[in-house]
């Protein structure tokens, strides 16, 4: 079939089955730009003239199916009219696709997100390819917007409103097998048979699996009940003034069947909101972090972690989860055992498939003698914070390392310049500083000491990306970036408690500001002894708060001891009611954090304000809707 297309290829075989392959020109991943959608409309015009027996839509990219709409076009929206036009473009086109007379099938291999999933939902059939990279989701809420091209209409029809709202309100993705199990995909097949399976399914005439009766009621007469329940869950997590998009998704589904064009005022409000602009900024900051290490060819297969405490053990488990062979060293097997038990829990939770969990477990090898050192591509020291102890360790390890291996320390408080003095090649030591809990915190600080080998720093960034974390290059300085900005923030919070403001009220002030956790609860979670030690180093000689000293003297160390500022039960703080929040308290508490971040940029600990914002957001959870602390201060002036 002769169609002049730049981004699509259209082929029709002897049996009359058409295949439309999206291979966006000049890009490594497919996205749905205005031009891509225009060409797809033209492609449908051609098929209207000569209808095929069936149409298979697939990707020509190794990276995946379709990553979503073109983010750069969204960023250029200047007016409400442009925003509505963007929504109408995809809504109208995908409704047209859903209405064609011939059967259609989306062959989904790799990521299928946002507008990509909305396109797939408009097809009669959805076939997923069973491989780890296949992920499906509607993550628009993470950008402060909503799925406006039919996702809010069709996803609840496919999987039921409860599962659909859960996906849309959280932005979570699901894998290929899960997609089939919940009814989103009609089938899930191995890569080797995907072409044959697609051809068979598209012309099979097979009816879609119907929604269970109760799900149909929830999508019809019980819609209001479901929507009210969803709102109650959202209120527990985010406030509408900070994150309006989840509330808009519920309203658009309940009142307009997911047709945002029926509520243009909602489209205008969401797309023009500061939250959407700032979350788009956060997306670009994340992409910038992901780019670190791309200029290095370093690739690790074996990792050796020394120190099986909470941090070392969890770093080892995470590396094994990500496919590496990991040896974990400590003085005895008894010291390593708790880390192995925690790892087993992590693997079962993250991988679900018992065979995959077992394979990860087999990759994590207890190694009391340190036999893994000569074979490791990366060696991570995670023992207690003591210079002489680390010196002794480095003296023993360095002669046994293979050429080209990375030597890293997870220190959070010691200067790399002081640690590397015993090394024959001091320029090879790099900081790879993880945050607790390792499995949840996306950021890893990659610490460069004075005179470090730039190639080593790039390799460390590449390793961090390899284990699916976000590397943030920082210079060696007390507390680096994240701990350095947290210290004055937590100190200010405890000073407020010393003044007689209840811990609950202090926390409520910052929750209302938009923080995911209040500073007093954070201190309890980190540990009051850790806060005390960090304060001595990072508080510039200031006296410790009385409320902290009193509790540490009583061995009330927070969550780990069951009592700190709060009593803890089943891993949760038992809080009383917050009092009336004094005017200006949130701004007063956050000011020292922002001041410190500005100073660290000025001192070159982090390269620029954007990276400082990225580090504080992904390393502390600082309210993403603000665009970061320095961005918030700039916008508030």
Catalytic residue numbers read 118, 140
- As a whole number of angstroms, the distance between CA 563 and CA 208 comes to 54
Residue 235's contacts (CB-CB under 8 Å, 6 or more residues apart) are: none
Question: For residue 203, what are its two tokens?
Answer: 């012309």
Residue 115 burial (C-beta neighbours within 10 Å; 0-12, 13-18, 19+): buried
- Distances 357 to 300, 343, 346, 365, 401 between C-alpha atoms, Å: 21, 10, 9, 14, 30
Query: What's 357-399 look like in SS3?
Result: HHHHHHHEEECCCCCCHHHCCEEEECCCCCHHHHHHHHHHHHH
Beta partners for residue 593, in sequence order: none
- As a whole number of angstroms, the distance between CA 312 and CA 438 comes to 9
- As a whole number of angstroms, the distance between CA 420 and CA 424 comes to 9
DSSP H or E stretch at residue 326: strand 325-329
The Cβ of residue 629 has, within 10 Å, a number of other Cβ atoms equal to: 27
**Positive or negative CA dihedral for 265, 266, 271, 274?**
positive
* Dihedral over alpha carbons 536, 538, 543, 549 (to 10 degrees): -50
The Cβ of residue 225 has, within 10 Å, a number of other Cβ atoms equal to: 11
Beta strands in 72-119, from DSSP E residues, in sequence order: 104-108, 111-113
Instruction: State the DSSP code for 147.
Output: -
Residue 196's contacts (CB-CB under 8 Å, 6 or more residues apart) are: none
DSSP H or E stretch at residue 316: helix 310-321
- As a whole number of angstroms, the distance between CA 537 and CA 484 comes to 10
**Positive or negative CA dihedral for 3, 4, 6, 11?**
positive
* Dihedral over alpha carbons 81, 84, 86, 90 (to 10 degrees): -150
- As a whole number of angstroms, the distance between CA 243 and CA 611 comes to 23
Residue 117's contacts (CB-CB under 8 Å, 6 or more residues apart) are: 66, 136, 137, 138, 151, 155
Question: For residue 569, what are its two tokens?
Answer: 């039960």
- As a whole number of angstroms, the distance between CA 343 and CA 362 comes to 11
Closest among 278, 300, 269, 391 to 629, alpha carbons compared: 278
Residue 606's contacts (CB-CB under 8 Å, 6 or more residues apart) are: 472, 473, 474, 475, 481, 600, 612, 615
- As a whole number of angstroms, the distance between CA 117 and CA 535 comes to 48
């Amino acid at each position: 079939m002769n169609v002049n297309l730049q981004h699509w290829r259209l082929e029709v075989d002897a049996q009359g089955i058409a295949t439309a392959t999206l291979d966006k020109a000049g890009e490594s991943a497919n996205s749905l730009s205005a031009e891509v959608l225009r060409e797809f409309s033209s492609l449908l015009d051609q098929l209207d003239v000569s209808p095929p027996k069936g149409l298979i839509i697939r990707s020509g990219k190794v990276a995946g199916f379709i990553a979503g709409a073109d983010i750069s076009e969204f960023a250029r929206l200047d007016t409400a009219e442009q925003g509505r036009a963007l929504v109408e473009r995809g809504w109208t086109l995908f409704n047209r696709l859903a209405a064609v007379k011939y059967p259609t099938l989306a062959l989904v291999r790799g990521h299928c997100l946002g507008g990509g999933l909305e396109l797939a939902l408009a097809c009669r059939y959805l076939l997923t390819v069973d491989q780890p990279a296949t992920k499906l989701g509607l993550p628009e809420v993470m950008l402060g917007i909503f799925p406006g091209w039919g996702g809010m209409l069709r996803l609840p029809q496919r999987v039921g409103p409860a599962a659909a709202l859960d996906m849309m309100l959280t932005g979570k993705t699901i894998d290929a097998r899960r997609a089939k199990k919940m009814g989103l995909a009609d089938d899930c097949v191995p890569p080797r048979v995907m072409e044959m399976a697609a051809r068979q399914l598209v012309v099979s005439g097979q009816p879609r699996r119907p929604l269970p009766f109760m799900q149909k009621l929830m999508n019809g007469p019980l819609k209001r009940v479901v929507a009210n329940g969803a709102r109650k869950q959202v209120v527990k997590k985010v406030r509408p003034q900070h994150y309006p998009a989840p509330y808009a998704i519920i309203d658009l589904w309940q009142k307009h069947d997911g047709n945002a064009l029926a509520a243009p005022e909602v489209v205008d409000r969401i797309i023009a909101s500061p939250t959407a602009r700032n979350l788009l900024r956060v997306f670009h900051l994340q992409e910038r972090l992901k780019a670190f290490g791309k200029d290095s060819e370093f690739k690790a297969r074996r990792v050796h972690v020394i120190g099986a405490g909470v941090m070392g053990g969890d770093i080892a488990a995470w590396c094994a989860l990500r496919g590496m062979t990991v040896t974990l060293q400590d003085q005895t097997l008894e010291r390593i055992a708790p880390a192995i038990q925690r790892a087993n829990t992590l693997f079962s939770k993250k991988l679900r498939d018992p065979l995959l969990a077992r394979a990860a477990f087999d990759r994590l090898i207890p190694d009391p003698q340190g036999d893994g050192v000569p074979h490791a591509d990366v060696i991570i020291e995670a023992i207690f914070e003591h210079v002489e102890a680390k010196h002794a360790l480095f003296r023993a390890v360095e002669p046994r390392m293979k050429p080209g291996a990375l030597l890293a320390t997870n220190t959070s408080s010691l200067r790399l310049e002081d640690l590397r003095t015993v090394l024959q090649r001091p320029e090879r030591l790099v900081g790879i500083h993880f945050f607790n809990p390792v499995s949840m915190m996306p950021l890893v600080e990659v610490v460069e000491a004075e005179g470090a080998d730039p190639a080593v720093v790039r390799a460390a960034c590449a390793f961090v990306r390899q284990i699916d974390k976000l590397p943030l290059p920082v210079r060696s300085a007390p507390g680096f970036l994240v701990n350095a900005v947290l210290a004055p923030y937590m100190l200010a919070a405890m000073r407020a408690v010393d003044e007689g403001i209840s811990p609950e009220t202090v926390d409520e002030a910052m929750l209302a500001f938009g923080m995911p956790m209040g500073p007093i609860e954070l201190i309890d979670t980190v540990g009051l002894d850790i806060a005390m030690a960090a304060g001595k180093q990072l508080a510039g000689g200031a006296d410790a708060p009385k409320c902290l000293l009193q509790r540490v003297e009583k061995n009330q160390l927070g969550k780990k001891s069951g009592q700190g500022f709060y009593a803890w039960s089943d891993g949760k703080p038992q809080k009383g009611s917050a009092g009336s929040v004094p005017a200006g308290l949130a701004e007063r508490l956050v000011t020292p954090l922002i001041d410190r971040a500005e100073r660290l940029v000025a001192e070159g600990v982090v390269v620029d304000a954007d990276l400082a914002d990225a580090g504080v957001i992904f390393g502390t959870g600082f309210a993403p809707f603000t665009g970061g602390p320095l961005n918030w201060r700039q916008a508030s002036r």
